[in-house]
Amino acid sequence: MKRRLPAARRIFANSGYTKEVFLQRYPACRGLVVKVGVGVASRFFDRPISRTERSNPVRFLTVCRLSEPRKNVDIVLRAIASLKSEFAFTYTIVGEGTLRPQLQALADQLNVADIVNFVGKASDGELISYYHDSDLFVLPSSVLRTSFEGFGIVYLEANACGVPTLAARVGGAAEAVDDGVSGFFVEKPDVDSVRLCLRAFLTGEQKFNAERCRQFAEQFNWAQIVDKFERAYEAELEVR
């Protein structure tokens, strides 16, 4: 890889964070890498935003593979356990993986199994319905040396459905959320930080506009991403 990659004319990255991580590993490629981003599939914009008011009880949602500890679903479970006695809410987890039995056992141990729903894999249509039926998308992922959020398309999928997001301000996820507009951040993905942010949302201290969430996601449509690719190709052809 170190020998062959510098021979490329252009290398495309899905985020500024991924670009920098890549260049740290392959410094000889500096000057070749172009950040183009990723696009949100049009199907996530097809359905009108179903509501602008929060549900009662509030509905939290996570969509991720349940095979990576860095997704921090366990941290979210511990955070909601500390809020259950004060607020009415539910927590739906879409995804499958080897950690699911462990996480379900944790939900039982924390006495939140009655408000937590592990639904497993979902079809595209089901996933869109889960987004539309939620009030806040929650995924405070960590960055590990060998694993991180290169960008975080799920945050934008939620936004496209009018749903704000809660992420950790690390990795590529920091570029997938417009703080205060499409969602907000925990500075550190730990139980106390997540609990404080969820509390702020539950009390109404943190409020978001569904249309503004969708407008943020619209900046990441595939037509604009393709334009970036085309400009990079055209620039290379002009050089040649």
Residue 198: the pLDDT is: 98
Domain 43-218 has CATH 3.40.50.720: no
In the chain, alpha helices (H): 16-25, 43-46, 73-81, 100-109, 124-132, 153-160, 191-203, 210-218, 222-239
Q: Which of 138, 140, 158, 157 is nearest to 149 (CA)?
A: 140
pLDDT tens across the length of the chain (240 residues): 888 999 998 999 999 989 999 999 999 999 999 998 889 999 999 999 977 788 899 999 999 999 999 999 999 999 999 999 999 999 999 999 999 999 999 999 999 999 999 999 999 999 999 999 999 999 999 977 667 778 889 999 999 999 999 999 998 899 999 999 999 999 999 999 999 999 999 999 999 999 999 999 999 988 888 988 888 888 877 765
Residue 2: the pLDDT is: 85
Domain ranges for the chain: 5-39+221-239, 43-218
Q: pTM of the full predicted structure?
A: 0.92
